């Protein structure tokens, strides 16, 4: 029996992912506890402060973890810009810091609530006895109230730990490596081994930390030195692992970013391979939100990634009129330059939004172009999570006067199959996705050119603008990836088998690029 | 050194109420407790006994009137320092459940800043004094003790910082009669030997009669009567007569029921 290569790959990534996950979780937990514990002590005898504190913490708890994490990125970006302007210092709003802050906030409710409840629940006779034997307020707190409330407080800490470790998997999109990297990339590339591995690792980690804290709580309650020591040693071991310099940390070098879909994972792996082949270190930051990644590039937290001309033109720079392809690229270069970003090259293919539907259905309804769709207002359409909020959709709808019965959001990889199965009539797919051909869908023409061109372009951060070594490493890719090749690469990556990891597909892609280069000579 | 001519504890027209609408928990009580005296407070439930004791330890402050310890107005004293000089045995013990027997006893001298070696010595002496088994009980926690043993620890904790005044709130109330007898006799011996001033709340009239130098009777916040057991047993006040008549009547009935089983009824 041989090991599934995906499992091997997952294991190889484990030290980095697990270490980062622990680092961010434990830091957040420590910070959260360090803030909420004194707050709880200060507020417990002040009914108003107490109500406000618990109220705010409860509200924070109802914000979905993903949204909370995502909110901290722009917030910190703003704070960083402000600090730069007023104090001349700047910090990275990317990755660790926003993740720690959001998770710390997330951890506060159980610690606050349990500290307050634990202290409230102490037998008033014991408080009276503590006063009676001549304890000061402080002595009462440290010698009687806290020791007695400790089991409840520890239970709160355990809840917080489990929450934080679980939620930390969602910090991947804001650039913090975590066990969520397995889950995000696995979901996008249909790598279920990765998804399961990530879930299992996060669950085991949560159980281990919870168990250690339980051991400490138990030791304290039962006055058992052995348990206390064991639990404390376990926690110390975790902390040492987290701080140990020997642990593979994000090892400098170039930071290659990727958004949250299959093609991006493959292209990031390809760029990373090329840079490493040039003898440089690389760190991958995958699964970044598409609004996060460009800001991260400008701020220098990401050095290089692949974006699409039309996306930048409409979404990042908010243009409504659509120039033709070459003019758009030229104008985009100027816009990017003004933002300090360099357009390092074009890969040669376009990954456009394309409206697609099953061939037979389109023929039956006599639909060839998007203009024809306007005549069928009863149809349903599905798009990815952002499409209907993007300016392209508004432009498309207005240009053709489109009306659909319903708009549905879907995981992009499942859209094509849904269209083929007749669950939706039309999808807003990606022109470079191999599943269009796989499911025998047709893409509809756009005679009014409402959808901009989406040439895949390599973007470099301000810091790397003049970096000749980086440009040299990536030069062989410029103009060498045509749409057919990319489609096949995407199809391979979505196959969900052992050779479908982004790394494996990227190696295949590089092979094709070299063949083509050789053929041309 | 406190002035020996002053009473150990003095209540002067002390009034305390917990809510404006309801009556006073303690109403205009004046009572002086002599140095070395063993005073019991008896009275019905809600009569204000516990409140009076809490006032003496300045766990609460009076609305009106003055409480004096060794002649000094307690309002002029630092409450924490003052409480460290008083021993208190709380109702049902109120031992600290997270501390061992030794730590519970040692807490009072430790808080007062007594050196660690001396604290250990005192713990040993008190364990012996309250007749616990040092080897068996020293390291145990309150939940590992019987009710009687717990109350012995509570007495030990109250005495560990060598107080001259001990306040006890129904210290032996929840114990079986045999344990209660043994414990109360042990305590009286300590009271004499250590020259303590003791104020003990009890709902057991017989116990009050047997142990006390003097008894104070509380009724609805007021001090209904105070005097030696003999004085109170002969009181004409209907409430006091009713209260103290009960054990005597019981003894008479027992004597009639079990002739020959109660040889020493005559007082
Ligand atoms: N902390 C308190 N808050 C409000 N009322 C109290 C408090 N303590 C005692 N009381 C009231 O004061 C009265 C006397 O109580 P207490 O001194 O405990 O009586 P006893 O010890 O004689 O049974 C009772 O009516 C009781 O309800
Ligand atoms: Mg009482």
Q: Which of B23, B41, B48, B63 to mutate to test the pocket of ligand 1 (most atoms within 8 A of CB)?
A: B48
Predicted confidence (pLDDT) at residue B202 exceeds the cutoff of 50 = yes
Q: How many CA atoms lie within 13 A of A333 on its CB side?
A: 10
Q: What six digits make up the tokens of B247?
A: 């054990």
Predicted confidence (pLDDT) at residue B266 exceeds the cutoff of 50 = no
B196 lines ligand 1 (CB under 6 A): no
Residue B261 confidence class, pLDDT cut points 50, 70, 90: low
Q: Residue whose CA is closest, atom 24 of ligand 1?
A: B46
- Domain with A365, as residue range(s), is 353-443
**Residue A94: Cβ within 10 Å count:** 28
The pocket of ion ligand 2, defined by CB under 5 A, consists of B 50
Which of A128, A130, A134 has the CB atom closest to B84's CB atom? A134
Residues A32 and A70 in one domain: yes
- What separation in Å is there between the alpha carbon of A47 and the centre of ligand 2? 29
Can you give the CATH number for the domain in which A293 is found?
3.40.190.10
Predicted confidence (pLDDT) at residue B218 exceeds the cutoff of 90 = yes
Closest CA to A29 of A100, A112, A93, A127: A100
Beta bridge pairs of residue B33:
B9
Of A132-146, B152-166, B248-262, which gets the smallest average pLDDT? B248-262
Q: Residue whose CA is closest, atom 18 of ligand 1?
A: B50
Residues A361 and A308 in one domain: no
A481 within a domain of the structure (yes/no): yes
Cβ contact, residue pair B88, A135, below 8 Å: no
Residues A369 and A515 in one domain: no
What is the arrangement of strands in the sheet containing A304-308, beginning at the earlier edge strand? Answer: A282-285, A254-257, A304-308, A455-460, A342-350
B51 lines ligand 1 (CB under 6 A): yes
Residue A247 confidence class, pLDDT cut points 50, 70, 90: very low
Rounded CA-CA distance A148/A125 in Å is 13
Of the three residues A217, A243, A269, the one that is the final residue of a domain is A243
Average of per-residue pLDDT across A224-230: 80
Distances (CA, A) of A190 to A17, A384, A436: 19, 16, 17
Ligand nearest to the CA of B41: 1
Q: Residue whose CA is closest, atom 20 of ligand 1?
A: B46
A165 within a domain of the structure (yes/no): yes
pLDDT of residue B103: 94
DSSP assignment of B137-206, as one string? Answer: HTT--GGGS-HHHHHHHHHHHHHTT--SEEEEESTTTTS-HHHHHHHHHHHHHHHHHTT-EEEEE-S-HH
Residue pLDDT, tens place only, A369-428: 999 998 888 899 999 888 888 888 888 999 999 989 988 988 887 899 999 998 999 999
Predicted confidence (pLDDT) at residue A326 exceeds the cutoff of 50 = yes
* Strand pairing class (B38-43; B197-201): parallel
Residues A369 and A494 in one domain: no
Closest CA to A301 of A92, A73, A134: A92
Examine the predicted complex and report whether its ipTM is higher than 0.95: no
Residue with tokens 């002496």: B125
Q: Which atom of ligand 1 is nearest to the CA of B53?
A: 17
Tell me how far apart the terminal alpha carbons of chain A are, to the nearest angstrom.
Answer: 44
Which of B59, B84, B108 has the CB atom closest to A128's CB atom? B59
pLDDT of residue B174: 76
Residue B154 confidence class, pLDDT cut points 50, 70, 90: very high
Average of per-residue pLDDT across B210-238: 91
Rounded CA-CA distance B239/B95 in Å is 35
Predicted confidence (pLDDT) at residue B265 exceeds the cutoff of 50 = no
Residues A116 and A14 in one domain: yes
Closest CA to B94 of A240, A202, A209, A131: A131
Rounded mean pLDDT of chain A? Answer: 88
B100 lines ligand 1 (CB under 6 A): no
A142 with A104: CB under 8 angstroms?
no
Residues A467 and A437 in one domain: no
Beta bridge pairs of residue A408:
A382
Q: How many structural domains comprise chain A? A: 3
Residue pLDDT, tens place only, B241-254: 888 888 878 888 88
Rounded CA-CA distance B140/B146 in Å is 11
Average of per-residue pLDDT across B118-144: 90
pLDDT of residue A244: 65
Rounded CA-CA distance A434/A372 in Å is 25
Average of per-residue pLDDT across B194-209: 91
Q: Which atom of ligand 1 is nearest to the CA of B169?
A: 21
pLDDT of residue A414: 84
Residues sharing a CB contact under 8 Å with residue A250, sequence separation 6 or more, in sequence order: A16, A20, A177, A283
Q: What six digits make up the tokens of A92?
A: 């990275």
A376 with A367: CB under 8 angstroms?
yes
B17 lines ligand 1 (CB under 6 A): no
Residues A91 and A232 in one domain: yes
Cβ contact, residue pair A126, B96, below 8 Å: yes
A448 within a domain of the structure (yes/no): no
Q: Which residue of A has its CA nearest to B100?
A: A223
pLDDT of residue B263: 56
pLDDT of residue A246: 46
**Residue B122: Cβ within 10 Å count:** 22
Predicted confidence (pLDDT) at residue A343 exceeds the cutoff of 70 = yes
B62 lines ligand 1 (CB under 6 A): no
Can you give the CATH number for the domain in which A372 is found?
3.40.190.120
**For residues A93 and B217, which has the higher predicted lDDT (pLDDT)?**
B217
pLDDT of residue A70: 83
Q: What six digits make up the tokens of B34?
A: 């002599």
* Strand pairing class (A441-443; A353-358): antiparallel
Ligand nearest to the CA of B218: 1
Q: How many CA atoms lie within 13 A of B202 on its CB side?
A: 24
B25 lines ligand 1 (CB under 6 A): yes
Q: Residue whose CA is closest, atom 5 of ligand 1?
A: B18
Instruction: Determine the 3-state secondary structure of A53 from DSSP.
Output: helix
A337 with A312: CB under 8 angstroms?
no
Q: What is the CATH number of domain B9-85+164-257?
A: 3.40.50.300
Residues A62 and A149 in one domain: yes
Rounded CA-CA distance A127/A115 in Å is 16
Q: Which atom of ligand 1 is nearest to the CA of B201?
A: 21
Residues A89 and A199 in one domain: yes
Q: Give domain limits for chain B.
A: 9-85+164-257, 101-163
Q: DSSP E strands: which ranges in A380-493?
A: 380-383, 406-409, 426-430, 441-443, 455-460
Which of B91, B98, B111 has the CB atom closest to A147's CB atom? B98
Instruction: Determine the 3-state secondary structure of A66 from DSSP.
Output: helix
Rounded CA-CA distance A86/A284 in Å is 33
Q: What six digits make up the tokens of B12?
A: 């002067």
Which of B88, B92, B112 has the CB atom closest to A132's CB atom? B88
DSSP assignment of B80-99, as one string? Answer: HHHHHTEEEEBTTB---TTS
Ligand nearest to the CA of B42: 1
Cβ contact, residue pair B94, A139, below 8 Å: no
Beta bridge pairs of residue B16:
B26
Average of per-residue pLDDT across A318-340: 90
pLDDT of residue A24: 92
Dihedral pair phi/psi, residue A280, rounded to 5°: -115, 155
Predicted confidence (pLDDT) at residue B95 exceeds the cutoff of 50 = yes
Q: DSSP E strands: which ranges in A195-289?
A: 254-257, 282-285
Chains A, B: CB pairs < 8 Å:
53
Report the residue count for chain B. Answer: 267
Q: What six digits make up the tokens of A53?
A: 């504190």
């Amino acid at each position: 029996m041989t090991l599934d290569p995906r499992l091997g790959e997952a294991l190889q990534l484990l030290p980095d992912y697990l270490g980062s996950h622990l680092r961010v979780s434990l830091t957040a937990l420590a910070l959260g506890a360090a803030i909420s514990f004194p707050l709880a002590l200060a507020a417990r005898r002040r009914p108003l402060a107490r109500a406000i504190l618990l109220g705010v913490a409860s509200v924070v708890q109802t914000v979905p973890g993903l949204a909370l994490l995502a909110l901290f990125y722009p917030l910190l970006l703003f704070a960083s810009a402000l600090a730069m302007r007023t104090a001349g210092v700047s910090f990275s709003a990317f990755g660790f810091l926003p993740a720690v802050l959001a998770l710390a906030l997330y951890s506060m409710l159980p610690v606050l609530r349990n500290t307050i409840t634990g202290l409230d629940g102490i037998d008033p006779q014991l408080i009276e006895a503590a006063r009676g034997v001549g304890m000061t307020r402080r002595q009462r707190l440290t010698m009687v109230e806290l020791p007695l409330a400790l089991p409840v407080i520890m239970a709160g800490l355990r809840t917080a730990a489990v929450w934080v470790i679980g939620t930390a998997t969602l910090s991947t999109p804001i650039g913090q490596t975590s066990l969520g990297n397995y889950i995000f990339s696995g979901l996008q590339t249909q790598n279920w081994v990765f998804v399961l591995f990530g879930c299992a690792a996060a669950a085991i980690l949560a159980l281990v930390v919870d168990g250690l804290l339980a051991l400490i709580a138990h030791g304290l309650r039962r006055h058992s030195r052995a348990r206390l020591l064991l639990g404390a040693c376990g926690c110390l071991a975790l902390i040492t692992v987290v701080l140990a310099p020997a642990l593979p940390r994000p090892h400098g070098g170039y930071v290659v970013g990727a958004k949250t879909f299959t093609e991006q994972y493959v292209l990031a792996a390809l760029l990373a391979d090329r840079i490493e082949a040039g003898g440089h270190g690389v760190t991958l930051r995958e699964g970044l939100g598409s609004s996060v990644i460009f800001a991260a590039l400008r701020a220098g937290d990401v050095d290089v990634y692949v974006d699409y001309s039309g996306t930048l033109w409409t979404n990042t720079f908010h243009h409504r009129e659509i120039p033709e392809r070459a003019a758009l690229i030229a104008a985009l270069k100027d816009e990017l330059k003004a933002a300090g970003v360099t357009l390092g090259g074009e890969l040669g293919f376009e990954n456009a939004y394309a409206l697609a539907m099953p061939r037979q259905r389109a023929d039956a309804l006599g639909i060839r172009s998007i203009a024809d769709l306007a005549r069928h207002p009863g149809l349903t359409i599905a798009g990815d999570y952002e499409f209907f909020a993007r300016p392209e959709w508004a432009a498309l709808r207005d240009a053709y006067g489109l009306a659909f019965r319903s708009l549905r959001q879907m995981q992009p990889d499942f859209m094509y199959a849904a269209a083929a199965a007749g669950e939706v009539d039309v999808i807003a797919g990606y022109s470079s996705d191999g599943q269009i051909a796989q499911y025998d869908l047709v893409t509809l023409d756009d005679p009014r050119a409402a959808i901009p061109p989406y040439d895949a372009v390599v973007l470099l951060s301000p810091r790397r603008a003049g970096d000749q070594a980086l440009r040299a490493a990536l030069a062989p890719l410029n103009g060498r990836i045509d749409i057919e090749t990319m489609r096949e690469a995407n199809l391979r990556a979505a196959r969900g088998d052992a050779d479908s990891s982004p790394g494996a597909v990227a190696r295949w892609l590089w092979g094709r690029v070299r063949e083509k280069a050789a053929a041309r000579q | 050194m406190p002035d020996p001519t002053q009473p150990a504890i003095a209540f002067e027209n002390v009034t305390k109420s917990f809510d404006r609408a309801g009556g006073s928990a303690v109403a205009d009580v004046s009572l002086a407790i002599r140095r070395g005296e063993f005073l019991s407070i008896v009275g019905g439930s809600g009569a204000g006994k516990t409140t009076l004791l809490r006032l003496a330890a300045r766990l609460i402050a009076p609305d009106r009137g003055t409480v004096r310890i060794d002649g000094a107005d307690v309002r002029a004293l630092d409450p924490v320092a003052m409480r460290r000089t008083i021993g208190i045995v709380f109702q049902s013990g109120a031992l600290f459940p997270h501390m061992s027997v030794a730590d519970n006893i040692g807490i009072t001298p430790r808080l007062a800043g007594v050196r660690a070696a001396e604290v250990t010595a005192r713990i040993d002496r008190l364990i012996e004094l309250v007749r616990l088994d040092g080897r068996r009980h020293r390291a145990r926690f309150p939940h590992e003790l019987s009710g009687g043993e717990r109350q012995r620890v509570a007495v030990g904790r109250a005495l560990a910082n060598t107080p001259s005044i001990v306040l006890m709130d129904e210290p032996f109330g929840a114990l079986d009669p045999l344990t209660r007898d043994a414990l109360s006799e042990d305590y009286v011996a300590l009271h004499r030997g250590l020259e303590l001033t003791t104020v003990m709340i009890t709902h057991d009239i017989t116990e009050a009669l047997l142990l006390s130098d003097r008894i104070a009777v509380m009724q609805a916040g007021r001090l209904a009567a105070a005097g030696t057991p003999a004085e109170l047993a002969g009181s004409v006040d209907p409430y006091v007569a009713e209260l103290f008549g009960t054990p005597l009547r019981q003894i008479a009935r027992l004597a009639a029921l079990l002739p020959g089983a109660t040889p020493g009824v005559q007082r």
